Amino acid sequence: MAPGPSSKIEPRLPPRDPRGGRPTNDVAIQLGFHILDVALDCFVAGGVEGTSMEAIAAAAHISKRTLYSRFGSKLALLVAAIEHGLSRHFDPIPDSVPRGPVRRQIVHVARRLLDISLLPEVVGIESLIVWLAGNRAGLLEAKPAIGAQAGISMIRTILEQQWRAPEDPIHDVAFLACHLFDALVTAPRHRILFRHDLRNTAKAKKEYIERTTDLIAVAIPLLGPSENAG
């Protein structure tokens, strides 16, 4: 059984200017983030069909008119909240990638992606994406494998930047990036959440990713253990 949504401290609204008038751009941006945070919590906790705009407005301590003026509809708010939640978790990963061999970078990104994909909030976001894929196709590239497109893109970027050997080029970087993501992130996530034959511990995840990378390195020598030295 997948973990449920995490409980959070309710985010605070940006302080109002005592002089009144229109809010500054910074305050307006903060308010937008606040609304998306609250909306995401509401959607994850109550599901799409069980969450109303009235409930979101009340939870965010804003008027329903403000909510509609910013997002137009519940469906548009749902898409914005999903994208906001995914960006908050996945956007910082590229800045954390260490320098060094390809293997070190791939293993680092895979571990970060796996850890994030197991977070209760991200599991909740996945349920929203699945609902959207089944009910409103076309509004969002709804992928049940959470963060797949972002993760594959990160791995592909590393491969393209680091592969320097002209005598042994990558003929299909896109395919290899997808394969690495599925082997290092999708498969262990499924085993942890659904098959329950892999423990959700730092040691178990590290060993799984390293052993899997060793197997792939038989065909892709660049990912071999020697590349992880230092």
CA angle at residue 87 from 82 to 89, to 5 degrees? 100
Let me know whether 100 and 183 are in one domain.
yes
Let me know whether 72 and 97 are in one domain.
no
- Phi, psi for residue 214 in degrees, rounded to 5: -60, -45
Which residue intervals of the chain are DSSP H helices? 25-46, 53-60, 64-71, 74-90, 93-96, 102-117, 120-135, 148-162, 173-181, 187-190, 202-217
pLDDT tens digit string along 91-149?
999 999 999 899 999 999 999 999 999 999 999 999 998 888 888 655 555 444 556 88
Range of the domain at 194: 92-220
Asked, for residue 85, whether it belongs to a domain, the answer is no
* Widest pairwise Cα distance in the chain: 68
Beta carbons of 56 and 77 less than 8 angstroms apart: yes
Let me know whether 215 and 175 are in one domain.
yes
pLDDT surpasses 80 at 166: no
Encoded amino acid at 54, one letter = E
Closest to 31 measured CA to CA, from 64, 2, 66: 66
pLDDT tens digit string along 179-225?
999 999 999 999 999 999 999 999 999 999 999 999 999 988 888 87
Asked, for residue 167, whether it belongs to a domain, the answer is yes
Let me know whether 179 and 71 are in one domain.
no
Let me know whether 150 and 203 are in one domain.
yes
DSSP label at residue 19: T
How many structural domains are present in the chain? Answer: 2
Share of the chain above pLDDT 70, in %: 78
Let me know whether 39 and 150 are in one domain.
no
Q: Quick one: pLDDT at residue 178?
A: 94
Instruction: Give the number of residues written for the chain.
Output: 230
pLDDT tens digit string along 44-99?
999 999 999 999 999 999 999 999 999 999 999 999 999 999 999 999 999 999 99
Instruction: Calculate the dihedral angle through the C-alpha atoms of 145, 149, 151, 156, rounding to the nearest 10 degrees.
Output: 140
pTM over 0.85: no
Let me know whether 206 and 124 are in one domain.
yes
Asked, for residue 61, whether it belongs to a domain, the answer is yes
CATH number, domain of 146, equals: 1.10.357
Residue 22 three-state SS: coil
Mean of the per-residue pLDDT values for the chain? 83
Angle between the N-to-C axes of helices 74-90 and 102-117, in degrees from 0 to 180, rounded to the nearest 10: 140
**Cβ burial, residue 209 (10 Å; 0-12/13-18/19+):** buried
